[in-house]
Amino acid sequence: MKPNGLHERIIVALDYDDRGKALHLLDKIEMVRFVKIGPRLLAATDWSILREAADRGKEIFLDLKLHDIPSTVAGTIANLSRFPIFSLSVHAASGSATLKAAVQKSRSLSRPIHIWAVTLLTSFRDETAADELMLAGSPSEYVQHLALLARYCGADGVISPADQVARIKETCGQDFIVVVPGVRPAGWEPHDQQRSSTPARAIEAGADFLVIGRAITASSDPAASFFQIVEEINDALGKTG
Ligand code: C5P
């Protein structure tokens, strides 16, 4: 399933430490269709937050970033089938056996969960990624390699820094979903993101979805920030035709 309309290309990251705040945001911005829920909010609340978001008509990207052996990942996905989840993140660096097990388990469910593979965290800068992960090639080559691996294993898409989107689409195909986190409107604080992009640039590069947290959730007016980002994307696409 692909997003309908620009506002559906924004996945709002509900990185809150409080259930009330997360639900308040959903009630405040009805146009939000996709939300990211990860360990931070789950640990602050409980798994019923997934049903509460779904009851409000939201599609859930469960960003657990699983990085484990095939049987553990497949078993986790089987247990997650109790919840209304649209997509789930699994580290591509878990390897092909885990990725294939994840895809196979997900496809066996009555309501399959999309598997999105994590390539390189956007909090890495080039030098630290090369040193700390002991990469044989450049960080860009690493992202491209993992994207191809994920594609080969049947994943529905990848999570990637914005600067790699165009090449992933070229090598993996236009139908391969690319999700970009670390997105900041021009002039915003980068926080801990080292590979950030503006929403417009990420969409122009071909991103299907943008995961945006603090630029919306930490804003004094989250609804205004959400609509401003939609406008910014709209203007950029209008300019490029
Ligand atoms: O607040 P900010 O917009 O930086 O949040 C980015 C969101 O995207 C966070 O929820 C983070 O966990 C998620 N993410 C990321 N890098 C990835 C995958 C997910 O920043 N590679």
What residue type is 166 in one-letter code?
Answer: A
Confidence of residue 241 (pLDDT cuts 50, 70, 90): very low
Please, what is the average pLDDT of the chain?
93
Separation CA 132–CA 218 (nearest Å): 30
Residues framing ligand 1 (Cβ under 6 A): 13, 15, 36, 38, 63, 118, 121-122, 159, 181-182, 191, 193, 211-215
Average pLDDT over residues 73-102: 98
Quick one: which atom of ligand 1 is closest to the CA of 192? 4
Separation CA 164–CA 139 (nearest Å): 10
C-alpha 24 to ligand 1 mean position (Å): 20
Separation CA 241–CA 109 (nearest Å): 40
Is 60 exceeded by the pLDDT of residue 2? yes
Q: pLDDT value at position 168?
A: 98
Helix (H) or strand (E) holding 180: strand 177-180
Separation CA 102–CA 105 (nearest Å): 5
Q: Residues of the chain with pLDDT > 70: what percent?
A: 98
Encode pLDDT of 20-37 as tens digits: 999 999 999 999 999 999
21 counts as catalytic:
no
Is 60 exceeded by the pLDDT of residue 240? no
Q: pLDDT value at position 197?
A: 87
Task: Given the residues 65, 100, 105, 169, select the one marked as catalytic.
Answer: 65
Walk me through the domains of the chain, giving residue ranges and CATH numbers: 6-240 (3.20.20.70)
- Strand 209-212 and strand 177-180: pairing? parallel
| Secondary structure in 3-state letters for 65-133 | EECCCHHHHHHHHHHHCCCCCCEEEEEHHHCHHHHHHHHHHHHCCCCCCEEEEECCCCCCCHHHHHHHC
Separation CA 137–CA 126 (nearest Å): 11
pTM: 0.94
Helix (H) or strand (E) holding 59: strand 59-66
Separation CA 106–CA 200 (nearest Å): 32
Is 60 exceeded by the pLDDT of residue 63? yes
Average pLDDT over residues 67-80: 98
**Are the beta carbons of 229 and 216 closer than 8 angstroms?**
yes
Separation CA 164–CA 207 (nearest Å): 10
Average pLDDT over residues 151-168: 96
Tokens, residue 7: 């506002």
Is 80 exceeded by the pLDDT of residue 196? no
Q: Residues of the chain with pLDDT > 90: what percent?
A: 80
Neighbours of 190 (CB within 10 A): 11
Residue nearest to atom 10 of ligand 1 (CA): 13
Confidence of residue 66 (pLDDT cuts 50, 70, 90): very high
Average pLDDT over residues 123-129: 88
**Are the beta carbons of 151 and 172 closer than 8 angstroms?**
yes
Give one word for 113, left, alpha or beta, with left for phi > 0 and alpha for psi -120 to 50.
beta
